[in-house]
């Protein structure tokens, strides 16, 4: 590769005072501030930037924007490396490192390029067809395909960059900052609307940035842009977002955008790398512009072949000639502007090959006048060159445009600018279910019926003249502002005071013919990124994949990172021709978000790592943490799991904790349990409906356990509820269900029983809750209270007393989840730690032992108490859980009652909760183990159920387990098996209770 310099001396919007150094494929180059990686590479004569996806053909830059299908690079190194970044959108910064991707071992020598020679084995639908071969064949191919395919490499390390995300609101969002968008923003902002103007480029202006002769409001177009942007930037209610892509237009005018905040400054710049905007706009103006359409001709993919508008942008905006000798191939006038601008800058124009037999009009005349050869009714039929275009063959077209007539003429050139017309960028409009209409004049789809709250303007409507863009944009901006309620004076439409020459009609040939049949002697690429050719579309048609959605999936046309921005319309048109239909009859594929790829980091913002999801902490959390307790996640709560002493593992710590509770006194942080204050004359009535048991007769000051079922009769929560007054209850819920239960009560009260007089208020966080469990609990508590009598007669089991503990106002309940004498002490949350520390200090002499959730689970399992969510999974009735005793037969109604009578819930052989005692008492069955009655040598075996809880119980002196087993209550004493990968555990079915069966320990 020889070093070249294609820089134009006096063109471009570059800061040439300081060269910028960058590295591409290991080689150092220089560019300027204002360059993109693409423009800098072209300036340095680097035409070959990558290899194509399937055939590994050499490819170069094809466009100057986000529609780029070829120029995808691996940007950055190490943890910051990022694949599939469009070189056309990378602003050059000092030290930039990028490399070609999809080539192995190097872009110049690519083993995968043999795919190109073997291409007849890679037809449309290759992957599908290969899958249909014997599977063993696929295994062999897969290794090579995986190695050679794929687009770039994902980083292997965590992303060190910072991302930001924000909600935003405005009256009018203008997406697209070309002439239409700027005019819309001006009109809306002047009318007083809150405006956001977003454009994906570094500068506002769109096509005006490479316009040379146009004047708006009496000054050069770029100066008008600068003045308009200056005006907008002084308006406090206007937000200007450069380098910001609106990538999704969702329901109700919710638009997602990504702003590349510091990408252009390089790694490690101050501030977030990107910002993800979630914007709600009252009104949206889409001014997304248009994307030039490539011509589909033989070998139209060689490096150096690019869109005509890109050639013009590189010359006028970036100060780069795309070649030394440039051939222009077009069916319309717009490409002439590129030829004329390049010629004016001193670049040789090899010829303008024009599909139109009647090529005329002022632009054609101007080209001819400048001595440029114009070959009317001609076509490029072949191209030459490998790492860079070297020349083309040009032949005259026949009258119909479906064949060529004469001998070929060879023309040497090192760049080819093509234009097949323009496709309005209707993607965002389509995201929001906007219906499209095929426009005969522009031979492409444009917005059809308007969508509420959405306005379109400019080139995306098919209005390509600057004056029309300004007029449409201004009108759309004013209308949007007015519909958003801002109706101030918007002034008048900016006028074009010096226009570019008017264009004469286009000629569209969806496939440019050559002297060979389609598919032979050259590839007519339609989708450059996915290597889909016109012949592939024809093959798909022959094989019956004729709907556009089938065509897309069968050929992969329109997939990949560019989502077919340059290829869709050509492919649809070719398919329409094959089916002998009109394009609108064939229709188009669905455009879905995102418009352009968005890095995952932007979606997370700083909601990652420890901020990914809330971590809820109890008032005593710091104490548990200091003591070295690991935490268990229970919903969003962190609960102390166990408190290891030095040298203890989890097993040893839990064994010590459960023994200490039954031998002395244990202390547990139960603050996470849900608590709901229920007041009103219908409070008891509500409880009677939501619990399966009866509540009316519960005395004031007494507590009762309840099970809550859904209308389907399945248990979904349990807990103890206390009557504090005639019309006042305090309900407790499981930790994980606190919000759900409150929601459940509210839903029934608001939707079904709106006349009931009852109010529910969450008081979960009002209290810190400490459980004192064990035979010494009473003795310890007595030392810390002088106004709560603790003996059984004065303070019986399942009752509540109010008084003071350690001087802190407290509600104390005698309820038990361990089967031991238990006092549950509730104090104001801010005193929770003080209470805990007082109990620990006073309890020292009793050997007070803090215990975590694991010991709590073992202790309750010893007693056979269920945990909702562990023994239950939404398919257990109270009867299944051996808790028929808690279902009132007297109550006329409660939620779920009717479901207990359903044939399925009433049948006697449902899965029942049972105990399992392993044959080997020291063996603990893994939770989740499947229970079978008949053992076979290998699966499948008839599964009866599964183990729900299983622990080693030091208090029982053996392992214990609970399980839900089909017909379990009728299997008492039977032996069942739990087959595991490496062994089978034998166990006997028992009652699901293992310790203190008579309940003698409750009173200490």
Partner 1 sequence: MLLISCPHCGPRAEIEFAYGHEAHIARPTDQEKLTDAEWADYLFMRKNPKGVHYERWVHARGCRRWFNVARHTVTHEILAVYRMGDPPPALDR
Partner 2 sequence: MVESYRRRSPLASFGLPARAAAQSPEAVADADLQLGERPHRCQINLRGNPQDGRFLEAVRNAAGLALPTEPNRVAAAGELKALWLGPDEWLILGPGGRETELVGTLARGLQGQHAGATDVSEARTWILVAGGRARALLARGIPLDLHPREFRPGHCAQTGLAGANIILQQTDDRPSYEIGVTNSFADHLWHWLERGAIDYRVAISV
Site for partner 1, rule CB under 8 A: 167, 250-254, 278, 280, 433, 711-712, 743, 746-747, 750-752, 754, 893, 897-899, 901-903
Which region, left, alpha or beta, applies to residue 155 given φ > 0 means left and ψ of -120 to 50 means alpha?
Answer: beta
Q: What track of x and - describes contact with partner 2 for positions 268 through 287 (by CB under 8 A)?
A: --xxx-----x-x-------
**Burial class (CB within 10 angstroms; exposed 0-12, middle 13-18, buried 19+) of 845:** exposed
Q: Which does 764 bind (CB under 5 to 8 A by kind): partner 2, partner 1, none?
A: partner 2
- By CB under 8 A, the residues from 192 to 221 that bind partner 2 are 194
Residue 859 backbone dihedrals phi, psi, to 5 degrees: -60, -45
In the DSSP assignment, the letter for residue 501 is P
Q: What track of x and - describes contact with partner 2 for positions 162 through 181 (by CB under 8 A)?
A: x-xxxxxx------------
Q: Which does 712 bind (CB under 5 to 8 A by kind): partner 1, partner 2, none?
A: partner 1
**How far is Cα 686 from Cα 417, in angstroms, rounded to an integer?**
77
Could you tell me which stretch among 29-37, 40-48, 306-314, 616-624 binds partner 2 (CB under 8 A)?
616-624
Q: Which is nearer to partner 1, 251 or 982 (CB)?
A: 251
**How far is Cα 106 from Cα 757, in angstroms, rounded to an integer?**
77
Is residue 806 involved in binding partner 2 (CB under 8 A)?
Answer: yes
Is residue 618 involved in binding partner 2 (CB under 8 A)?
Answer: yes
Q: Which does 752 bind (CB under 5 to 8 A by kind): partner 1, partner 2, none?
A: partner 1
Q: Which does 750 bind (CB under 5 to 8 A by kind): partner 1, partner 2, none?
A: partner 1
Q: Which does 402 bind (CB under 5 to 8 A by kind): partner 2, partner 1, none?
A: none
Q: Cα dist. 694→15, 23, 690, 877 in Å?
A: 83, 78, 10, 17
Q: Which does 614 bind (CB under 5 to 8 A by kind): partner 1, partner 2, none?
A: partner 2
Residue 727 backbone dihedrals phi, psi, to 5 degrees: -120, 30
Q: Which is nearer to partner 2, 740 or 891 (CB)?
A: 740
Q: Are 138 and 144 in contact (CB under 8 A)?
A: no
Q: Which does 747 bind (CB under 5 to 8 A by kind): partner 1, partner 2, none?
A: partner 1
Q: What track of x and - describes contact with partner 2 for positions 392 through 431 (by CB under 8 A)?
A: ----------------------------------------
Minimum CB distance to partner 1, residue 553 (Å): 23
Q: Are 563 and 556 in contact (CB under 8 A)?
A: no
Minimum CB distance to partner 1, residue 712 (Å): 6
Cα dihedral across residues 41, 42, 48, 53: positive or negative: positive
Q: Which does 853 bind (CB under 5 to 8 A by kind): partner 2, partner 1, none?
A: none
- By CB under 8 A, the residues from 807 to 866 that bind partner 2 are 807-808, 828-834, 837-838
Q: Are 641 and 631 in contact (CB under 8 A)?
A: yes
Residue 686 backbone dihedrals phi, psi, to 5 degrees: -65, -45
Number of residues engaging partner 2 in binding (CB under 8 A) = 56
Helix axis angle, 568-578 to 534-542, nearest 10°: 40
Minimum CB distance to partner 1, residue 890 (Å): 14
For residue 776, give the nearest of 818, 821, 815, 813 by alpha carbon. Answer: 821
In the DSSP assignment, the letter for residue 458 is G
For residue 45, give the nearest of 305, 338, 304 by alpha carbon. Answer: 304
Q: Which is nearer to partner 1, 38 or 678 (CB)?
A: 678
Minimum CB distance to partner 1, residue 531 (Å): 36
Is residue 368 involved in binding partner 2 (CB under 8 A)?
Answer: no
Q: Which is nearer to partner 1, 752 or 786 (CB)?
A: 752
Is residue 617 involved in binding partner 2 (CB under 8 A)?
Answer: yes
- What count of other Cβ atoms lies within 10 Å of the Cβ of residue 837? 13
What does the block give as tokens for 459? 């080139």
Q: Which is nearer to partner 1, 498 or 902 (CB)?
A: 902
Q: Which does 69 bind (CB under 5 to 8 A by kind): partner 2, partner 1, none?
A: none
3-state secondary structure of 946: strand
Q: Which is nearer to partner 1, 109 or 167 (CB)?
A: 167
Minimum CB distance to partner 1, residue 275 (Å): 18
Q: How far is CA 314 from the centre of its chain?
A: 34
For residue 162, give the nearest of 268, 278, 257 by alpha carbon. Answer: 268
3-state secondary structure of 100: strand
Q: How far is CA 127 from the centre of its chain?
A: 27
Q: Which does 751 bind (CB under 5 to 8 A by kind): partner 1, partner 2, none?
A: partner 1
**Burial class (CB within 10 angstroms; exposed 0-12, middle 13-18, buried 19+) of 421:** buried
Minimum CB distance to partner 2, residue 238 (Å): 13
Q: Which is nearer to partner 2, 262 or 599 (CB)?
A: 262
Q: Which does 899 bind (CB under 5 to 8 A by kind): partner 1, partner 2, none?
A: partner 1
Minimum CB distance to partner 1, residue 395 (Å): 51
**How far is Cα 284 from Cα 195, in angstroms, rounded to an integer?**
10
Q: Which is nearer to partner 1, 432 or 693 (CB)?
A: 432
What does the block give as tokens for 40? 């800098």
In the DSSP assignment, the letter for residue 320 is B
Q: Which is nearer to partner 1, 280 or 988 (CB)?
A: 280
Minimum CB distance to partner 2, residue 281 (Å): 11
Please list the residues that pair with 22 across neighbouring strands. Answer: 29, 96
Alpha helices in 543-627 (DSSP H): 548-555, 568-578, 583-586, 600-604, 621-627
Q: Are 260 and 243 in contact (CB under 8 A)?
A: yes
Q: Which does 606 bind (CB under 5 to 8 A by kind): partner 1, partner 2, none?
A: partner 2
Q: Which is nearer to partner 2, 42 or 808 (CB)?
A: 808
Q: Which is nearer to partner 2, 270 or 998 (CB)?
A: 270
Candidate list 464, 631, 637, 995; residue touching partner 2; CB under 8 A: 637
Minimum CB distance to partner 2, residue 772 (Å): 18
Residue 186 backbone dihedrals phi, psi, to 5 degrees: -60, -50
**How far is Cα 715 from Cα 404, in angstroms, rounded to an integer?**
79
**How far is Cα 24 from Cα 204, in angstroms, rounded to an integer?**
28
Q: Which does 838 bind (CB under 5 to 8 A by kind): partner 1, partner 2, none?
A: partner 2
Minimum CB distance to partner 2, residue 267 (Å): 17
Is residue 265 involved in binding partner 2 (CB under 8 A)?
Answer: no
For residue 813, give the nearest of 863, 772, 869, 859 by alpha carbon. Answer: 772
What does the block give as tokens for 856? 């709590």
Candidate list 764, 950, 955, 959; residue touching partner 2; CB under 8 A: 764
Minimum CB distance to partner 2, residue 610 (Å): 7
Q: Which does 250 bind (CB under 5 to 8 A by kind): partner 1, partner 2, none?
A: partner 1
**How far is Cα 539 from Cα 521, in angstroms, rounded to an integer?**
17
Is residue 615 involved in binding partner 2 (CB under 8 A)?
Answer: yes
- What count of other Cβ atoms lies within 10 Å of the Cβ of residue 356? 23
Q: Which is nearer to partner 2, 250 or 636 (CB)?
A: 636
Minimum CB distance to partner 1, residue 884 (Å): 19
Alpha helices in 630-763 (DSSP H): 650-663, 683-690, 738-747
What value, to the nearest 5°, has the Cα angle with vertex 169 and ends 164 and 174? 95
C-alpha R_g of the chain = 38
Minimum CB distance to partner 2, residue 841 (Å): 11
Residue numbers of the site for partner 2 (CB under 8 A)?
A: 162, 164-169, 194, 270-272, 278, 280, 605-607, 610-611, 613-619, 621-622, 636-637, 672, 677, 679-681, 757, 759, 761-767, 804, 806-808, 828-834, 837-838
């Amino acid at each position: 590769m020889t070093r070249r310099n294609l820089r134009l001396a006096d063109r471009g919007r570059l800061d040439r005072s300081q060269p910028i150094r960058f590295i591409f494929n290991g080689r150092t180059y220089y560019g300027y501030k204002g360059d993109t990686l693409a423009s800098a590479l072209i300036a340095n004569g680097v035409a070959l930037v990558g290899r194509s996806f399937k055939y590994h053909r050499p490819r170069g830059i094809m466009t100057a924007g986000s529609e780029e299908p070829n120029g995808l690079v691996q940007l950055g190194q190490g943890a910051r490396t990022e694949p599939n970044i469009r070189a056309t959108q990378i602003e050059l910064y000092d030290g930039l490192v990028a490399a070609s991707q999809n080539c192995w071992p190097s872009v110049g020598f690519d083993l995968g390029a043999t795919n190109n020679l073997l291409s007849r084995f890679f037809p449309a639908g290759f992957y599908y067809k290969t899958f249909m071969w014997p599977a063993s064949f696929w295994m062999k191919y897969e290794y090579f395909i995986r190695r050679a395919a794929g687009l770039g490499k994902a980083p292997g390390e965590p992303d060190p960059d910072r991302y930001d995300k924000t909600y935003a609101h405005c009256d009018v969002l203008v997406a697209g900052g070309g002439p239409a968008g700027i005019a819309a923003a001006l009109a809306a902002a002047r009318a007083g609307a809150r405006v956001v103007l977003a454009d994906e480029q570094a500068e506002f202006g769109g096509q005006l940035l490479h316009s040379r002769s146009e004047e708006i409001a009496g000054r050069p177009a770029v100066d008008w842009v600068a003045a308009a942007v200056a005006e907008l930037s002084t308006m406090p209610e206007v937000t200007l977002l450069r380098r910001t892509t609106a990538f999704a237009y969702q329901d109700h005018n919710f638009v997602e955008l990504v702003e590349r905040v510091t990408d252009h400054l390089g790694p490690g710049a101050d501030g977030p790398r990107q910002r993800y905007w979630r914007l709600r706009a009252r009104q949206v103006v889409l001014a997304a512009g248009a994307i030039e359409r490539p011509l589909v001709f033989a070998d139209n993919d060689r490096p150096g072949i690019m869109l005509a508008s890109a050639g013009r942008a590189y010359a006028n905006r970036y100060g780069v000639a795309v070649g030394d000798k440039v051939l222009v191939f077009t069916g319309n006038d717009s490409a002439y502007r590129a030829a004329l601008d390049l010629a004016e800058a001193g670049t040789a124009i090899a010829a303008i090959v024009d599909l139109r037999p009647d090529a005329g009009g002022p632009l054609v005349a101007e080209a001819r006048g400048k001595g440029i050869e114009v070959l009317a009714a001609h076509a490029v039929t072949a191209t030459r060159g490998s790492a860079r275009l070297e020349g083309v063959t040009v032949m005259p077209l026949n009258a119909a445009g479906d064949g060529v007539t004469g001998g070929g003429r060879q023309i040497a050139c090192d760049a080819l600018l093509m234009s097949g017309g323009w496709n309005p960028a209707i993607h965002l409009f389509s995201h929001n279910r906007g219906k499209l209409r095929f426009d005969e004049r522009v031979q492409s789809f444009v917005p059809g019926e308007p969508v509420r709250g959405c306005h379109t303007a400019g080139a995306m409507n098919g209005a390509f003249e600057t004056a029309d863009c300004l007029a449409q944009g201004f009108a759309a901006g004013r209308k949007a502002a007015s519909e958003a309620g801002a109706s101030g004076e918007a002034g008048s439409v900016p006028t074009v005071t010096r226009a570019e020459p008017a264009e004469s009609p286009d000629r569209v040939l969806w496939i440019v013919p050559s002297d060979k049949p389609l598919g032979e002697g050259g590839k007519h690429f339609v989708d450059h990124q996915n290597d889909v050719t016109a012949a592939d579309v024809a093959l798909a048609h022959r094989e019956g994949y004729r709907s556009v959605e089938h065509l897309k999936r069968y050929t992969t046309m329109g997939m990949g990172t560019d989502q077919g921005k340059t290829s869709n319309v050509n492919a649809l048109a070719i398919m329409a021709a094959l089916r002998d239909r009109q394009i609108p009859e064939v229709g188009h594929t669905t455009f879905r978000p995102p418009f352009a790829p968005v890095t995952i980091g932007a979606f997370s913002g700083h909601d990652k790592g420890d901020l990914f999801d809330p971590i809820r902490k109890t008032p005593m959390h710091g104490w548990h943490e200091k003591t070295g307790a690991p935490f268990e996640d229970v919903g969003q709560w962190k609960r102390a799991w166990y408190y290891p002493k030095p040298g203890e593992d989890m097993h040893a710590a839990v064994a010590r904790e459960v023994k200490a509770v039954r031998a002395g006194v244990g202390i547990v942080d139960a603050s996470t349990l849900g608590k709901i204050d229920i007041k009103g004359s219908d409070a008891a009535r509500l409880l009677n409906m939501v619990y399966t048991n009866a509540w009316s007769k519960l005395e004031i000051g007494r507590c009762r356990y309840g099970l809550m079922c859904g209308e389907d009769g399945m248990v979904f929560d349990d807990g103890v509820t206390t009557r504090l007054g005639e019309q006042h209850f305090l309900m407790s819920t499981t930790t994980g269900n606190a919000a759900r239960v409150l929601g459940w009560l509210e839903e029934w009260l608001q939707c079904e029983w709106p006349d009931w007089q009852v109010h529910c208020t969450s008081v979960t966080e009002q209290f810190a809750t400490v459980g004192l469990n064990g035979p010494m609990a009473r003795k310890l508590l007595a030392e810390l209270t002088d106004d709560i009598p603790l003996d059984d007669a004065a303070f019986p089991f399942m009752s509540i007393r109010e008084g003071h503990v350690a001087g802190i106002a407290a509600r104390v309940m005698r309820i038990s989840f361990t089967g031991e004498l238990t006092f549950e002490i509730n104090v104001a949350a801010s005193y929770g730690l003080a209470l805990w520390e007082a109990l620990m200090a006073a309890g020292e002499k009793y050997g007070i032992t803090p215990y975590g959730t694991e010991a709590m689970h073992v202790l309750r399992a010893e007693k056979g108490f269920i945990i909702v969510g562990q023994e239950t999974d939404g398919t257990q009735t109270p009867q299944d859980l051996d808790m028929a005793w808690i279902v009132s037969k007297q109550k006329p109604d409660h939620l779920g009652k009717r479901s207990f009578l359903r044939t399925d819930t009433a049948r006697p052989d449902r899965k029942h909760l049972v105990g399992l005692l392993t044959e080997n008492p020291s063996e603990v069955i893994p939770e989740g183990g499947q229970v079978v009655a008949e053992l076979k040598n290998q699966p499948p075996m008839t599964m009866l159920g599964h183990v729900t809880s299983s622990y080693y119980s030091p208090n029982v002196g053996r392992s214990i387990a609970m399980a839900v087993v089909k017909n379990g209550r009728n299997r008492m004493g039977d032996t069942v098996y739990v087959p595991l990968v490496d062994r089978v555990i034998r166990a006997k079915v028992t009652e699901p209770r293992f310790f203190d069966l008579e309940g003698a320990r409750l009173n200490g």
